A and B are shown apart, each in its own frame.
Chain A
Amino acid sequence: GESVGLHLPTLSVQEGDNSIINCAYSNSASDYFIWYKQESGKGPQFIIDIRSNMDKRQGQRVTVLLNKTVKHLSLQIAATQPGDSAVYFCAERLYGNNRLAFGKGNQVVVIP
């Protein structure tokens, strides 16, 4: 069953501000975590990933933090832009197999 969930269903953020999206997971044996962005009418788009042996990884305007102690994953978006408006999913690769388990998603709305 699903082991990945998100704390907040909707996040409204002013353009230019930073956004933080949180995700809790319950499968302590998962070894790989990914954030995806999904815009209306499109498939999920890869944003950034992180292995379980890391606690932070940075990309362009995005940072993923992994706290294995509390089984928490977060995505930080710097200087949020209108194009960042979308649903964001966290996903984990489950122990012993090669499938991804996705959370329910978190809607981000950027206010111009």
Chain B
Amino acid sequence: DAGVTQSPTHLIKTRGQHVTLRCSPISGHKSVSWYQQVLGQGPQFIFQYYEKEERGRGNFPDRFSARQFPNYSSELNVNALLLGDSALYLCASSLVRGVWGEPLNLNEKLFFGSGTQLSVL
């Protein structure tokens, strides 16, 4: 079975440009989350989408946006790139959404892709 797939694997952009990153979740998974991982740090939550709607947003500027398509794949868009946007962008999928306080659902487990390494010059 294919895991979470992301494209492209590597990308080089210059400041001010726009970038679109793509993610295909595991087949049957309806929830997709995006994380940013700066070198030497843990991943930072950006967005979660579930059933094509935004269900959560991290502390990122409006330059960051995302969407989820009917087939549950997702795109992350970043406008007006800054040098500080250089990072590994990770997509993760889960079968269900998973919310604090609700009974543990084994289908909440997040499965990560290998990420897109974005370099902004």
Give residues in A with beta carbon < 8 Å to B. Answer: 1-2, 4, 30-32, 34, 36, 41-46, 49, 51, 89, 91, 93-105
Contact = CB atoms under 8 A, between A and B. Distances in A.
A89 to B, nearest CB: 5
Interface string B30-71: 000101000011111100100000011011000000000000
A98 B48 contact: yes
Looking at chain A's contact residues, is the secondary structure mostly helix, strand, loop, or mixed?
A: loop
Looking at chain B's contact residues, is the secondary structure mostly helix, strand, loop, or mixed?
A: loop
B42 A105 contact: yes
A52 to B, nearest CB: 10
Interface string B95-109: 001111100100011
B21 interface: no
A43 B113 CA distance: 5
B115 interface: yes
Contacts of A4: 42
A18 to B, nearest CB: 24
10 contacts: A30-B100, A32-B100, A36-B112, A43-B115, A44-B43, A98-B98, A98-B99, A99-B33, A100-B43, A105-B41
A97 B45 CA distance: 12
A93 B100 contact: yes
Interface in B76-106: 90, 92, 97-101, 104
Interface residues on B, range: 20 to 34
B11 to A, nearest CB: 15
B42 A99 contact: no
B42 A97 contact: no
A89 B42 contact: yes
A44 B112 contact: yes
Nearest to A91: B42
Contact of A41 (B56, B97, B101, B114): B114
Contacts of B97: 98
Interface string B5-29: 0000000000000000000000000
A99 B110 CA distance: 10
Nearest to A107: B40
